[in-house]
């Protein structure tokens, strides 16, 4: 196996990884004439988005590691820096023992990349043509590539439709081809960025099983970004929460959940809550650790939710219902249960993890 | 684990990248059946305006005034050569930038750039596939010229013409790489391609001899590789000369080629690094 022996324990290690993006400002038609340097540090700071802020993570060899965070938290930027698509502004990362700044080509050879979303392959080509093309980019000789492509088509149950154009495939089948592409050169590390995004439940389950098998049977080191809590809970050995470009916590899903496990959770589904409802309930429940309103989109059939963690659920239920009635808020449902990874994230950051709160 | 990905690129693996890039582009092109109709019919229609315009101006297919400037009275073969070589300018200038833009749009560019192969060979593959479609188009135009206008082509003449066309294409690859670099950074290079395409059309002797241009424009025209390719190929095909007459033009064309290729590769790798730093690489 090709790797730099120095850091074999960790397949991926980021050291103060920082990435900033300049904000795109509209400067008018002749804006390019007015492009001057920021006058002071404060102004400079305002024109920059910090996508990754000194990120430090260590992923062990063979580990299935989840990176969880809401949209825009820095998950994809982390993946892009690790895969050398982006150059970080500060810090570095060691991938399979190779430095992303100095040994770009070796890092690229060590990785397989899967990004969720509709278009990442050539739709006018067949699955076989796509795979043969990408095999050449990984310096595979024709004979070796052909053998490997046949193997992967068979493993991923794509063989029967291998000579059909991808435009005739379902989203789930295209995602299988994307996974086959990542496995072409049999890399020790896989970077999976929202691999089940937009898939129907059946295909999402198939892809999750595939990921589990790649980790357990083939010993791949996998960095998985997702905002599906169940997916991370089900698959990952360890999980890191990322919010606003910063790592908030890293641990196993069970240990993370233990942070709020002993506490009880009350979740109330509400319609059209007033803006001050969160503050109002917090005043009535001083012993609750977290009171959080998670706004929904009622037009999309996704109502808002109020989550209360800590204290005694039995006492909270009555108080919350009274408070909501006082404010004339319609209640759609009420649950008392065990906190999930999302509840841990809310407790740690005060922010919600997903749009739909899954 | 397959270790080929970690190995130094070899001549064979680089050639494989070029070949697979060509195959991919040709297969994608053939997935659109209307392109075949375009290749088959357009070269025929292309001639009609020139014939009608020429007949209206000079009352036939030959002009004595034209002969005084160029040494040949047959203006149709003169223009055909101009059009054939100019078609390489069009496809390479527009095609390369568009190809990179399309890769970014369909989300495949990230995967190409994240692969360990040398990207220069991907670009060479793209450039060759773009020029292949031009060659098919050019062959149709030449065939029509022979059949309809009695343009004489001999095998002995075609070999040096082919050599000069290759030299022209090399220079155009340099410009195409510059277009690809702009496309990577600014997500479109169409306007720049359009401007350069027009400049070539006006300042290079595509439809008229370079002597028709004012002196300052002639100086500008002599910086364009197409100018030299046209002068040399017309000299071979219409005046029956050989390399001994045009060796100076061949040397200048070679120098321009080297300068453009170096500039193209340098600019592309510079822009690639710049976009990887700014984050613009994944935008479309």
Q: Taking residues A283-308, what's their average pLDDT?
A: 82
A233 with A324, same domain: the answer is no
Given B32, B108, B273, which is nearest A122 (Cβ)? B108
Instruction: Tell me if A86 and B276 make a contact (CB, 8 A cut-off).
Output: yes
A279 with A241, same domain: the answer is no
Tell whether A179 lies on the interface with B, counting CB pairs under 8 A: no
Instruction: Tell me if B114 and A165 make a contact (CB, 8 A cut-off).
Output: no
Chosen domain end from A236, A251, A266:
A251
A37 with A140, same domain: the answer is yes
Alpha-carbon distances of A33 from A29, A38, A48, A179, B186, rounded to whole Å: 9, 15, 20, 46, 18
Chosen domain end from A251, A282, A303:
A251
Q: Count how many domains chain B has.
A: 1
Q: Please report residues of B whose CB lies closer than 8 A to that of A125.
A: 24, 27-28, 31
Q: Is the pLDDT of residue B274 over 80?
A: yes
Query: What is residue B136's three-state secondary structure?
Result: helix
pLDDT tens, B205-234?
988 888 889 999 999 999 999 999 999 999
A247 with A294, same domain: the answer is no
Cβ-proximal residues to B43 (8 Å cutoff; 6+ apart), any chain: B137, B140, B141, B144
A106 with A187, same domain: the answer is yes
| Rounded-to-integer distance, Cα B29 and Cα B38, Å | 12
CB A105 within 8 A of CB A150: no
How many Å lie between the alpha carbon of B122 and the closest alpha carbon of chain A? 8
pLDDT tens, A29-67?
566 555 555 555 555 556 788 999 999 999 999 999 999
Q: Please report residues of B whose CB lies closer than 8 A to that of A118.
A: 107
- How many Å is the maximal CA-CA distance in chain B? 73
A247 with A274, same domain: the answer is no
Which domain, by its residues, includes A335?
Answer: 258-349
A151 with A234, same domain: the answer is yes
Helices B75-105, B190-203: axis angle to 10 degrees equals 170
**Chains A–B, number of C-beta pairs less than 8 Å apart:** 134
How many Å lie between the alpha carbon of A222 and the closest alpha carbon of chain B? 15
Q: Please report residues of B whose CB lies closer than 8 A to that of A108.
A: 5, 114-116
- Is residue A298 in a domain? yes
Q: Is the pLDDT of residue B150 over 90?
A: no
A14 with A145, same domain: the answer is yes
- Is residue B161 in a domain? yes
Tell whether A4 lies on the interface with B, counting CB pairs under 8 A: no
Residue from B260, B266, B275 nearest B109 by CA: B275
- Is residue A355 in a domain? no
- Is residue B12 in a domain? no
A19 with A91, same domain: the answer is yes
User: Residue A188 is encoded by which pair of tokens?
Assistant: 């020790």
pLDDT tens, A84-100?
999 999 999 999 999 99
Looking only at the bridges linking them, the beta strands covering A221-226 and A64-68 are parallel
More confident call, B91 vs A14: A14
CATH of the domain at A284: 3.30.70.260
Instruction: Give the ranges where A3-40 is alpha helix by DSSP (H).
Output: none
Q: Taking residues A257-284, what's their average pLDDT?
A: 82
Instruction: Tell me if A125 and B7 make a contact (CB, 8 A cut-off).
Output: no
- Is residue A289 in a domain? yes
| Rounded-to-integer distance, Cα B165 and Cα A337, Å | 76
A34 with A62, same domain: the answer is yes
Q: Please report residues of B whose CB lies closer than 8 A to that of A51.
A: 279
- Is residue A357 in a domain? no
Q: Please report residues of B whose CB lies closer than 8 A to that of A129.
A: 23-24, 27
Given B4, B23, B110, which is nearest A139 (Cβ)? B4
Given B4, B20, B107, which is nearest A144 (Cβ)? B4
A195 with A263, same domain: the answer is no
- Is residue A163 in a domain? yes
More confident call, B30 vs A355: B30
Tell whether B211 lies on the interface with A, counting CB pairs under 8 A: no
Q: Count how many domains chain A has.
A: 2
Residue from A342, A335, A340 nearest A357 by CA: A342
Q: For the residues of B8-71, what is the DSSP string, one character each?
A: PP-HHHHHHHHHHHHHHHHHHHHTSTHHHHHHHHHHHHHHHHHHHHHHHHHSSSB-HHHHHHHS
pLDDT confidence bin for A334, thresholds 50/70/90: confident
Reported pTM: 0.81
- Is residue A358 in a domain? no
Supply the ipTM of this predicted assembly.
0.83
CATH of the domain at A65: 3.40.50.300
CB A97 within 8 A of CB A8: yes
Q: Which of A207-216, B25-34, B216-225 has the lowest mean pLDDT?
A: B25-34
- Is residue B7 in a domain? no
Chosen domain end from A223, A251, A279:
A251
Q: Which of A9-13, A92-96, A132-136 has the lowest mean pLDDT?
A: A9-13
Which pLDDT score, from 0 to 100, does residue A211 have? Answer: 92
- Is residue B14 in a domain? no
pLDDT confidence bin for B40, thresholds 50/70/90: low
A99 with A236, same domain: the answer is yes
Q: Please report residues of A whose CB lies closer than 8 A to that of B122.
A: 137
Query: What is residue A137's three-state secondary structure?
Result: helix
Instruction: Tell me if A87 and B273 make a contact (CB, 8 A cut-off).
Output: yes
More confident call, B151 vs B268: B268
- Is residue B46 in a domain? yes
Which domain, by its residues, includes B237?
Answer: 21-282
| Rounded-to-integer distance, Cα A106 and Cα B7, Å | 9
Instruction: Tell me if B4 and A132 make a contact (CB, 8 A cut-off).
Output: no
Residue with tokens 């960025």: A193
Tell whether B244 lies on the interface with A, counting CB pairs under 8 A: no
- Is residue B93 in a domain? yes
Tell whether A108 lies on the interface with B, counting CB pairs under 8 A: yes
């Amino acid at each position: 196996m090709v790797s730099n022996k120095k850091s074999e324990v960790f397949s991926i290690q980021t050291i103060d990884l920082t990435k900033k993006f300049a904000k795109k400002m509209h400067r008018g038609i002749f804006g390019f004439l007015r492009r001057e340097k920021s006058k002071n540090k404060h102004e400079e700071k305002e024109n920059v988005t910090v996508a990754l802020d000194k990120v430090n993570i260590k992923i062990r060899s063979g580990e299935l590691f989840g990176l969880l965070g809401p949209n825009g938290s820095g998950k994809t930027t982390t993946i892009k820096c690790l895969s050398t698509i982006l150059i970080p502004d500060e810090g570095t990362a060691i991938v399979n023992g190779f430095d992303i700044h100095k040994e770009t080509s070796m890092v690229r050879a060590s990785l397989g990349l899967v990004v969720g979303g509709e278009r990442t392959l050539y739709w006018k080509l067949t699955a076989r043509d796509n795979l043969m093309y990408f095999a050449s980019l990984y310096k595979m000789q024709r004979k070796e590539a052909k053998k490997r492509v046949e193997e992967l088509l068979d493993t991923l149950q794509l063989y029967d439709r291998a000579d059909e154009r991808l435009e005739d495939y379902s989203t789930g089948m295209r995602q299988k081809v994307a996974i086959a592409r990542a496995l072409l050169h049999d890399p020790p590390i896989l970077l999976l960025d929202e691999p089940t995004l937009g898939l129907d439940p059946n295909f999402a389950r198939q892809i999750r099983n595939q990921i589990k098998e790649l980790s357990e049977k083939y010993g791949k080191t996998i960095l998985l970004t997702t905002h599906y809590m169940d997916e991370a809970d089900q698959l990952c050995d360890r999980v890191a929460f990322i919010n606003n470009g910063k790592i908030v916590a890293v641990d196993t899903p069970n240990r993370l959940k233990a942070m709020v496990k002993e506490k009880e959770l009350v979740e109330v589904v509400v319609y059209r809550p007033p803006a001050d409802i969160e503050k109002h309930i917090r005043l009535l429940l001083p012993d609750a650790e977290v009171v959080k309103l998670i706004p929904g989109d009622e037009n999309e059939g996704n109502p808002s939710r109020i989550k209360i963690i800590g204290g005694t659920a039995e006492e909270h239920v009555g108080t919350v219902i009274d408070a909501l009635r006082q404010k004339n808020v319609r209640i759609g449902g009420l649950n008392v249960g065990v906190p999930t990874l999302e509840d841990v994230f809310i407790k740690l950051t005060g922010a919600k993890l997903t749009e739909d709160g899954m | 684990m397959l270790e080929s990905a970690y190995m130094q690129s070899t001549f064979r693996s680089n050639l494989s990248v070029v070949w697979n890039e060509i195959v991919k582009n040709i297969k994608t092109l053939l997935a659109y059946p209307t392109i075949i109709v375009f290749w088959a019919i357009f070269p025929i229609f292309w001639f009609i305006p020139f014939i009608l315009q020429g007949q209206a101006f000079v009352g036939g297919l030959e002009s004595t005034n034209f002969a005084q400037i160029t040494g040949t009275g047959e203006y149709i073969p003169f223009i055909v050569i101009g059009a054939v070589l100019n078609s390489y300018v069009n496809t390479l200038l527009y095609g390369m930038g568009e190809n990179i833009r399309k890769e970014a749009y369909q989300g495949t560019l990230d995967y190409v750039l994240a692969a360990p192969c040398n990207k220069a060979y991907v670009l060479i593959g793209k450039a060759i596939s773009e020029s292949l479609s031009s060659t098919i188009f050019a062959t149709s135009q030449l065939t029509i010229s022979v059949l309809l206008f009695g343009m004489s082509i001999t095998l002995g003449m075609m070999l040096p013409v082919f050599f000069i066309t290759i030299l022209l294409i090399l220079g155009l690859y340099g410009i195409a790489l510059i277009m690809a670099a702009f496309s990577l950074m600014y997500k479109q290079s169409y306007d720049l391609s359009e401007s350069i395409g027009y400049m070539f059309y006006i300042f290079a002797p595509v439809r008229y001899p370079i002597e028709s241009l004012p002196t300052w424009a002639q100086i500008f025209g002599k910086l364009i590789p197409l100018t030299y390719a046209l002068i040399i190929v017309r000299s071979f095909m219409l005046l029956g000369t050989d390399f001994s007459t045009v060796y100076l033009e061949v040397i200048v064309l070679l120098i321009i080629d080297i300068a453009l290729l170096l500039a193209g590769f340098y600019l592309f790798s510079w822009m690639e690094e710049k976009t990887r730093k700014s984050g613009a690489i994944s935008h479309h």
